[in-house]
Structure 1
Amino acid sequence: MNHIIWPEDYIPGFTENFVSNEIIVAGLSAAKIWPFLANPAQWPSYYGNSANVRFYDDQRPELAEGVRFYFETFGFPVEAACTEYVAPANGQPGRVAWHGWAGEGDTRLDVHHAWLVEDLQGGRVRVLTQETQKGKPALELAKAKPNPMINGHQDWLEGLVSIATARR
């Protein structure tokens, strides 16, 4: 199976927090999942921890490399820039990632959130999401029990599968 491509400053194990969530389901494809992930304006419709999505510079409501956008999640107002965008095609997995940031000084949080959506044998799809975080808020999130990032991202995965299943 494929893996996330990490920028040097965000390699897991060298940041204050790292979370990884994955789901594998039968009866869906990367092509069916992708439109719901690639369009942040749709996130709040299936992921309750996402709100107030907007794009800058009259960008379209779909991600592409270099696109700047804003959304709110986990109580943070997140400014973000898409750093990787490759739609799934010809047996190759879809990849999307963004650098997000919020706050200043001691409240500054920087993240690299990456997704991989790939078709597997037997009519299955794998959706992997991983995030590394830097800053004091990341240390606090890493210590929280239950872990809000792991639980929140699992909700995101399950919502993504649910909406793709309902609309196929």
Structure 2
Amino acid sequence: MNQIIWPQGYLPGFTENFVSNEVIVAGLSAADIWPLLSEAGRWPGYYANSANVRLHDHDGPDLQEGVRFYFETFGFPVEAQCNEYVPPSAGTPGRIAWHGWAGEGETRLDVHHAWLVEDLPQGRVRILTQETQKGRPAEELARARPNPMINGHQDWLDGLVSAARQACR
């Protein structure tokens, strides 16, 4: 199976926090999942922990490489820039990732949040989301129990799958 491509400085194990969530489900394809993930404005419709999504200086609904955007999640107002955008195609997984940041100085949080969406044999799709985080807020999130990042990203995956199933009906 494919894996996330990490930019310099964000390799898991060398940051203050890392989370990984994955689902594999039957009856859906990468093409079913992709529009719900690539159109950031749709996130609040199936993921309660995202709000106020705005794209900066971009006309389309889809994120694209280089597009700047804003959203709120986990209590953070996040500015972000999409730095990987590869729609799924036959034999090639979809990849989307962004660098997000919030705060300044001691409260600065930097993240790399990446998604991989790939079709698997027998009508299954794999959705992997992983995030590395840097900064003091990342240290605090890593110590929190239950882990808000793991639980929040699982909610995102579950909502994504549910929304895709509803759209396919």
TM range (shorter): over 0.9
Task: Establish whether residue 79 from structure 1 lines up as the match of residue 40 from structure 2.
Answer: no
TM-score (norm 1): 0.99
Gaps of 5+ in 1: none
Distance 1:58 1:94, change over 3 A: closer
CA deviation after TM superposition for structure 1 residue 48, in Å: 0.1
Partner of 1:139: 139
Judge conservation of contact 1:59–1:67 (CA < 8 Å) in 2: no
Partner of 1:96: 96
Partner of 2:12: 12
Partner of 2:28: 28
1:54-73 alignment runs, 5 A limit: 54-73=54-73
Q: In structure 2, what is the Cα distance between the partners aligned to 1:165 and 1:64? A: 25
Number of aligned positions between the proteins: 168
Partner of 1:117: 117
Indicate the larger mover: 55-64 or 124-133.
55-64
Q: In structure 1, what is the Cα distance between the partners aligned to 2:15 and 2:68? A: 23
CA shift digits 1:115-160 (9 cap, x unpaired): 0000001100000000000000000000000000000000000000
Secondary structure of the equivalent of 1:55?
strand
CA deviation after TM superposition for structure 1 residue 57, in Å: 1.4
- The one-letter code matched in structure 1 to 2:105 is G
Judge conservation of contact 1:30–1:88 (CA < 8 Å) in 2: yes
CA deviation after TM superposition for structure 1 residue 65, in Å: 0.2
Partner of 1:38: 38
TM-score (norm 2): 0.98
Q: In structure 2, what is the Cα distance between the partners aligned to 1:140 and 1:59? A: 37
CA shift digits 1:30-64 (9 cap, x unpaired): 00000000001000000000000001114322110
Identity across matched positions, percent: 75
Judge conservation of contact 2:58–2:67 (CA < 8 Å) in 1: no
Secondary structure of the equivalent of 1:65?
coil
Partner of 2:53: 53
Judge conservation of contact 2:55–2:68 (CA < 8 Å) in 1: yes
- The one-letter code matched in structure 2 to 1:164 is A
Q: In structure 2, what is the Cα distance between the partners aligned to 1:5 and 1:98? A: 12
Secondary structure of the equivalent of 1:64?
coil
Judge conservation of contact 2:106–2:135 (CA < 8 Å) in 1: yes
Secondary structure of the equivalent of 2:101?
strand
Judge conservation of contact 2:19–2:150 (CA < 8 Å) in 1: yes
Q: In structure 2, what is the Cα distance between the partners aligned to 1:146 and 1:162? A: 24
Q: In structure 2, what is the Cα distance between the partners aligned to 1:31 and 1:60? A: 18
